[in-house]
Amino acid sequence: MTTFVSDSQCNELADSLLNSFAVGELHSQSSIKEIARVAQELLADDGLPTRWSLACVIAKKAQAAWHEEILQTKRVCQ
């Protein structure tokens, strides 16, 4: 049986991943593959399917959000 993961759940998990960027093992140069591995752990923790394609979607959302935070910080500092 396939469990559907909503877009809002994906966004929440991507937001959770931002902590791994701020104080964890991820950084702005982390690959999607590295981020997706952490996303799979979050999916498993929430009892959701750990499909690689789903983890990659969440990883890309998290990476985009992190890069946006970096840009916003740069604007504030200039």
Is residue 53 included in any domain, yes or no? yes
Question: Would residue 1 count as lying in a domain?
Answer: no
The structural domain count of the chain equals: 1
Domain that holds residue 16: 7-77
Q: Is residue 47 part of a domain?
A: yes
Instruction: Look at residue 73 and tell me if it is in a domain.
Output: yes
Whether 2 is covered by a domain: the verdict is no
pLDDT digits (tens, 9 = 90+) for 21-64: 988 889 989 999 999 999 999 999 999 999 999 999 999 999 99
Q: Return the pLDDT at 18.
A: 92
Is residue 21 one of the residues assigned to a domain? yes
Question: What is the C-alpha separation between 60 and 74, in angstroms, rounded?
Answer: 21
